[in-house]
Amino acid sequence: MVLVFKNFLSNDECNKLNEWVNLGIQNKWLDKGLSRGLDWVYEKRLTTRPYAERFNYLPNVYDVQNKISKLLDIVDLPKSVTGGGKNGIVVSCTYDGGNVYAHTDPKDGDLEVLRCNVMTRAADDGGKLYVGGNKIDIKVGDLHCYLPSTVEHYVTEVKGKTSRVLWMFGYQCSIKRFNQLCQRHQQT
């Protein structure tokens, strides 16, 4: 199940996050990503995942994290740093020809990983999210939340001059708690 909250962030909020990403690319806060069969050498998708010691997020990033925590009433959940990131937050920027291969995320100890993601810049074409074989209709500014440690997911190849930017806010969460979130918000 995927929870989707349309227009969670405004265009202005997305643009401010994208400005940080642009600066982060220049300063190598985002660097080479991981792809199937490759180590951290994938140049078509840059990420902050293993590079947390290189930067600090601005307060507006934590404002988004707090907004998510309050909306979902998950303020009590610990942030997930399984697989990298800083304070539970990872950002990626995918360029023309890049994608995210089909995979399932690792668990965070005994708990699942809950990702609450916002795409702040869409590619000209492609870059479509599939979770459990289903295409998830998301637009810039929409929040989408799911347990990627329980279901295979991938993003199709990005096409065009505009990169795709995704902010990922991670939490440690039980399946029971996620099911309660889904029931409360009555979405699929």
pLDDT score of 188: 41
pLDDT score of 23: 96
β-pairing, 89-94 vs 164-173, is antiparallel
Instruction: Assess contact for 93 and 147: CB atoms under 8 A.
Output: no
> Is residue 187 predicted with pLDDT exceeding 70?
no
> Is residue 112 predicted with pLDDT exceeding 80?
yes
Domain ranges for the chain: 3-185
CA-to-CA distance for 162 and 178, rounded, in angstroms?
33
- Chain segment 50-93, per-residue pLDDT in tens: 899 999 999 999 999 999 999 999 999 999 987 778 999 999 99
- Chain segment 135-161, per-residue pLDDT in tens: 999 999 999 999 999 999 999 999 999
- Mean pLDDT for 6-34 is 95
This prediction has a pTM of 0.94
> Is residue 44 predicted with pLDDT exceeding 60?
yes
> Is residue 34 predicted with pLDDT exceeding 80?
no
Polymer length of the chain:
188
Mean pLDDT over the full length of the chain: 93
pLDDT score of 38: 67
| DSSP-H helix ranges across 73-112 | none
- Sequence-distant (≥ 6) Cβ neighbours of residue 118 within 8 angstroms: 8, 9, 14, 17, 64, 141, 142, 143, 144, 166, 167, 169
> Is residue 108 predicted with pLDDT exceeding 70?
yes
Specify the higher pLDDT residue, 106 or 118: 118
* Torsion 135-136-140-145 (CA) sign: negative
Cα 108 to its chain centre, rounded Å, is 16
pLDDT score of 37: 67
Report phi then psi at 154, rounded to 5: -160, 165
CATH number of 3-185: 2.60.120.620
